[in-house]
Chains A and B, each alone.
Chain A
Amino acid sequence: MADKILLIGGSANGFGRETESDAASYQMVSALIRRGYEVYFIDDNPYSFTASRDDVHVEVLELTADNLVKVIIANGITSIVATVGGAVATRLALEVQEILGDQGPKIVGLTSAVLSAAQNTKYLQERLQQWHLPAVKTRLASTASEVFDAARELEFPVVVRSIAPQGQALRMQAEDAEELDQVAELALERSLTHQVNVDKSIRGHKEIAMVVMRDLRDTKVLIGGVEDMDPVGIHTADSISITPIQTLSDPVVQTLRETAFKIARGFNVHGLLQVRFAVNPEDDSYVVTRIIPYYDRKVSLIEGATGYPMVPVMTGLMLDERVERVHISSRYAEHTAFLEPTMDHIAVRFPVFTFGELELGGIETNRRLDTIQKSVGASIGVGRSLEAALEKALRAAHFSNRSFSPDLMGELTDSQVIEQLIHPQDNRILLLLEAIRRGYTVDELEELTHIDAYYFYKLERIMKLETEVRQHPWDMEVLKNAKYYGLSDGLIAKLWGSVYDSVRRYRWDNNILPTYKTFEPSAGEFEESVSQFYSTFEVENESERLGQETILIIGTGAFRLGDGASASYVLATMMDEFKRQGYQTVLVNNNPYDLTFIPQLSDKQYFEPLEISDIMNIIEVEQPTRVVVPGNRIKLINSLKATGLDVQVIPREKYLESTLTEHKDQLLYNYFYDGNELHPIVVSHQTNRQIKIEEDEQSHLAQAITPEMPFDEVGLYQFVCEAYDETSNVMQGRMRPMPFTHVAFLDKVSQHDWLRMLVRYMLNTPTEADITLLESLPNFEWAYHRATLRYQDGEFKEHLNIQKTLDNGQFAMAATYEVE
């Protein structure tokens, strides 16, 4: 009898969670099935890739403790996994344990202690004290006088936090006695119990994260560390993050490593644990700020940057296997699971914000960064120097060539510059460059921003390069140097007053070609036949053409607007189908959390920016027989077609459709286009709050006259019906590629893999069953009477402080769905 194990999903995506946990749960399922488990998965996220697997029992239920308990009891679940559903899953696991007690299933790898400590700072601090590990110093105070006693003891600056606050939680920083005077009474009054916590402020300290693995025999391995360029005070997700750690000396790094180990041992973690630290740049003292016992974005970043098989190892360890015995792919050297990864390259993760798009949509937001996350996605840049990695990450985040143009930033007044240095906004990297351009010294900048001076030297270097390039057009040596440090052909072209194509050709003619290196965790010491690459301009190239007949797939990059997660799902599903159809595939993408980077979905992966020049460089190496591109990349598609390549477009609009049609219900007719005719699939409704499919309405579909088809590409399409003539059954409206949000939803609720079928048609190899199915449309067996997708925009509004109604069709990152 197979053991039954339940993975708790994370529900709707959001500011804490992109698709990294989905990528992790997908891989974990494979590892569990290999070990003979019967796997259950509970999630109501319509974009979940894990939930589309047919070897898993999927429960589409709202993620509540009660629903979990129902599923557990109904199916005889003996173990639950709480590490691949973000913070939600860990919270629910604890709740389930409280309800079921000893009768309940085992939470694999984690004790209730560590789950509690992850959510409850006070509890964490108690345990840290027990183990003599440094925590944020804090004192309780009930009167203003006690507040001052505490401040005297802890020394300024301090942060005052109301306990049990009425309304929103209040945290206020006080730099000196005067400020504290203002803050103390206010904070006390805000508290229902007239109490506050006074913490020693760690604002301005360096944020460092360490990720460790531990097994049941107490073997502990440090997988990696991440350093944030921005200090405490800016949410870590909005910060530029770098791995490996750049500015700490060995003794400090070893101390943090040792501390993370002690915490993992103290909580008896089997599997992974992330410990976050704040390090005082003045004296290298540190405190532990929080612990995260689940797979999150930092873990995903380290996994991508080191090439370490994080999920397979984590799965084995949580099931009480020894780290020396965990099964990992034969691509790796045998000891890879317990060799501490060492890197010979640098990876930078750059946050992506959506303010510009919101403004275009008429929504004003405060661009200022603080302790609440505002970024909606991230991109990665990898290189052999920090400058190159930063350059590539910037490019990948779509700042493109605007970055280094003085015009934009040049308009700011000096006081505006200072204001923004102290109170950073989303474009702060541009601002820092502008400040350097205006002659601010490194020391001044460090003082104003608390960013380690090391980074300013690096930014200065980038500026100098830019100037050098501008002053020496078509100079070989300068060009070589610029390419090594990551400047794109496009940027160089701009600086030379030319076009990117000319620069590219010039490079080619002079043999300045990119060299691709592999990501592997041993810095060249051991042979690993892993398949992930990044570009640099050095001597040795490690990437050879994969094969004679390959398909190159262009990913969708960082999440920007509402369809990030669904786009990830679409691409991942299609990639999997290409593989199933027997093709060798190569992926290029730059979003470290994306589903497309799941190793089994492709044969080779490039972590590179998705600009035309970067893609052309890869095409030169791989010479694919076909390139698959998302349809919104119009320029790229044209360039690729111009070179004579076989380009397969995935229909996608350049700009997402707005849904903000006041209280109006939009009627949508959904079609499958096989290249010859449109086959009607379903009628759906959309409002600003939801998408709905009703089984009862489908009879309508047969009657409607199929509209004109203005598109050539095989794909899924949607007709937005503006007017329907009852007598003639002719529709007036507009045909458009089906938005990915709808595609993902459709796949889920129709229990038919439309995307996979689409791939087969793209390859011109539809099965008999496919053809029969299309012919039978619109007669389709619906599994459910009603399916509803609800946009979840609450978090979005809260994080970005948006008062107006949000246009969910464009912006909603998050959705849940239910079926009846």
Chain B
Amino acid sequence: MTKRYLILEDGSIYEGEAFGAPATTFGEIFFHTAMTGYQEIMTNPIYHNQIVVFTVPIIGAAGINHRADEAIGPMVKGVVVREIAEVSTNRLQTMTVHEFLLRHNVPGISQIDTRALTRHLRETGSQKASIVDFPDDHAFDQLRALVLTNQEVQQTSTPRAYVNPGDGANVVVLDFGLKNGILRMLNDYDANVTVLPYNATLDEVLNLDPDGIVLSSGPGDPHAVPESILELIRTLQKQLPLFGIGLGHELFALANGVDVEVMPIEHHGMNHPIRELITNRIMYATQAQGYEISTSSIKGTDVFVTHVDLTDGSIQGLRHRNYPAFSVQFFPDTAPGPVEAVEPFDDFMDMVTVRRGG
């Protein structure tokens, strides 16, 4: 029952109990409202270097099992909860959350009034935070001095290309911090997938004779990604079906001259109603979003809006006017999340199949 503290940039201190590793970490803090899927969330590379606060009061009842991993090990720098289940009873589990975090040297803190913390964060927006042993001046100094890296993509992208074989269409995925769910979905279509590092060149891509391109999701600020990649996207979209997810969607936007801004309040959850404009239908999907497309900058560009989040009007999907290229801000791989969100994958694979002549 070791005491630990969660401290925020704005001076707030929250006292709680330690679990996971006794490490001291720093990161940007955000809250996630999903009631299920904690393992998928903790291992999503999009949350690399971030500290996650779960609003659901207890996590861990289903333990850790490797089917729910979205990456090798947790990507978050810290886990903040009201309560952590000490034991798990799910048959599939191989270890508890505590053990999982301990092995990967990630600290957790429990017994926090997460509702109060959430309400506070929704006022202040995201900020830097740290899980420490003592909430003294030294800790705060360190926290304030922290400079958040802008090399997120570089740190989470694969350094070398690799193949995820299949018998179907040839799909190239540009890895900006890819989550396993994307590969799993492509597997379901039996695609022959090659994953390339984020800084692949045009030749490297075209040499694989792809039938379609996927721009993966990933962590961090899309503006931190080199201009050359935007140029690559512009070239590829003219020649091949292209599908961007999350960060990939933001890059697709930037590549086409649309501005991307920091969101005042981020979206992390799976309960926002998203309208698909073309059918006027409402669907739900998991969101992990810190940046958004600037609505006012769409005019005059070659992309148009396909999906909108109805709680705040933020753009959730784009499509190119002239090419078979589109992107979504939300997560269509349902790991975790609502099943109806997979439709963009269906659409992409349809496009790819048609192009292949199938």
Q: Which A residues form the contact surface with B (CB < 8 A)? A: 217-219, 221-222, 244-251, 253-255, 257-258, 261, 281-282, 323-324, 333, 335, 338-346, 384-386, 442, 446, 452-454, 457, 515, 517, 522-526, 538-540
Contact = CB atoms under 8 A, between A and B. Distances in A.
B118 A457 contact: no
Given A282-B91, A342-B33, A385-B83, A250 B40 contact: yes
A247 B339 contact: no
A338 B273 contact: yes
A386 B339 CA distance: 28
A810 B115 CA distance: 44
A343 B87 contact: no
**What are the 6 closest A-B residue pairs judged by CB atoms, nearest first?**
A540-B116, A524-B118, A340-B271, A250-B37, A453-B89, A250-B36
Contact of B35 (A218, A335, A343, A385): A343
28 contacts: A217-B282, A219-B281, A219-B282, A221-B284, A245-B36, A246-B61, A249-B90, A251-B68, A254-B338, A255-B339, A339-B311, A342-B55, A344-B56, A345-B115, A385-B58, A385-B82, A385-B83, A446-B89, A454-B85, A454-B89, A457-B85, A515-B113, A523-B33, A523-B55, A524-B33, A524-B119, A539-B14, A540-B116
- Point out which of B14, B271, B281 has the most chain A C-beta atoms below 10 A from its C-beta: B271
Contact of B115 (A222, A282, A524): A524
A340 B334 contact: no
B337 interface: yes
B307 to A, nearest CB: 14
A343 B82 CA distance: 13
Given A340-B270, A385-B57, A457 B311 contact: no
Nearest to B65: A249
Contacts of B55: 342, 344, 523-525
Interface in B89-108: 89-92
A454 B88 CA distance: 7
A445 B272 CA distance: 40
Contact of B281 (A218, A339, A343): A218
A340 B269 CA distance: 10
B89 A457 contact: yes
A71 B87 CA distance: 59
A344 B310 contact: no
Main secondary structure of the interface of B (DSSP, over half): loop
Contacts of B82: 344, 384-385
B89 A254 contact: no
Nearest to A341: B271
Contact of A524 (B122, B310, B339): B122
A249 B273 contact: no
B71 to A, nearest CB: 16
Interface string B319-340: 0000000000000001111111
A56 to B, nearest CB: 33
Contacts of B58: 246, 346, 385-386
A257 B37 contact: no
A219 B283 CA distance: 7
B114 interface: yes
A335 B310 contact: yes
Contacts of A257: 338-339
A247 B272 CA distance: 24
Interface of B: 14, 31, 33-37, 40, 55-58, 61-62, 65, 68, 82-83, 85-92, 113-116, 118-119, 122, 269-273, 280-282, 284, 310-311, 334-340
Nearest to A261: B340
A340 B284 contact: yes
A538 B110 CA distance: 12
A614 B65 CA distance: 41
Contact of A339 (B57, B87, B113, B271): B271
Given A342-B269, A386-B58, A454-B87, 19 more contacts: A219-B282, A222-B284, A249-B90, A250-B37, A251-B336, A255-B339, A333-B311, A342-B33, A342-B34, A342-B56, A344-B114, A346-B58, A384-B82, A385-B82, A454-B88, A457-B85, A457-B86, A457-B89, A539-B14
A342 B271 contact: yes
Contacts of A282: 91
A340 B33 CA distance: 11
Nearest to B336: A250
Nearest to B270: A340
Contacts of B340: 258, 261
Contacts, number: 155
A784 B6 CA distance: 70
Contacts of A540: 113, 115-116, 119
Contact of A217 (B31, B68, B269, B280): B280
Nearest to A453: B89
Contacts of B113: 515, 538-540
A217 B92 CA distance: 38
A338 B68 CA distance: 28
A40 B220 CA distance: 59
- Point out which of B35, B90, B114 has the most chain A C-beta atoms below 10 A from its C-beta: B35
A346 B57 contact: yes
A542 to B, nearest CB: 8
Nearest to B337: A254
Nearest to B280: A217
Nearest to A518: B115
A270 B92 CA distance: 38
A457 B87 contact: yes
Contact of B311 (A261, A335, A342): A335
A234 to B, nearest CB: 20
B339 A538 contact: no
Contacts of B282: 217, 219, 323-324, 338
B338 A344 contact: no
B33 A522 contact: yes
A253 B36 contact: yes
A524 B31 contact: yes
A244 B56 CA distance: 9
Contacts of A522: 33, 271
Contacts of A385: 57-58, 82-83
Nearest to B41: A250
Nearest to A481: B111
B336 A254 contact: yes
B36 A248 contact: yes
A446 B89 CA distance: 10
B205 to A, nearest CB: 33
B57 A384 contact: yes
Contacts of A250: 34, 36-37, 40, 68, 335-337
A186 B283 CA distance: 52
Nearest to B271: A340
A253 B92 CA distance: 15
B271 A249 contact: no
A453 B88 CA distance: 8
A457 B118 CA distance: 28
A462 B86 CA distance: 14
A288 to B, nearest CB: 16
Nearest to B121: A524
Nearest to B111: A484
A219 B310 CA distance: 13
A742 to B, nearest CB: 45
A247 B269 contact: no
B89 A339 contact: no
Contacts of B92: 249
Contacts of B89: 247, 442, 446, 452-454, 457
A247 B271 CA distance: 20
A457 to B, nearest CB: 5
B334 A254 contact: yes
Contact of B339 (A244, A258, A341): A258
Contacts of A248: 36, 62
A571 to B, nearest CB: 30
B31 A526 contact: no
A384 B36 CA distance: 16
Contacts of A526: 122, 311
- Point out which of B85, B88, B282 has the most chain A C-beta atoms below 10 A from its C-beta: B282
- Point out which of B36, B270, B335, B337 has the most chain A C-beta atoms below 10 A from its C-beta: B36
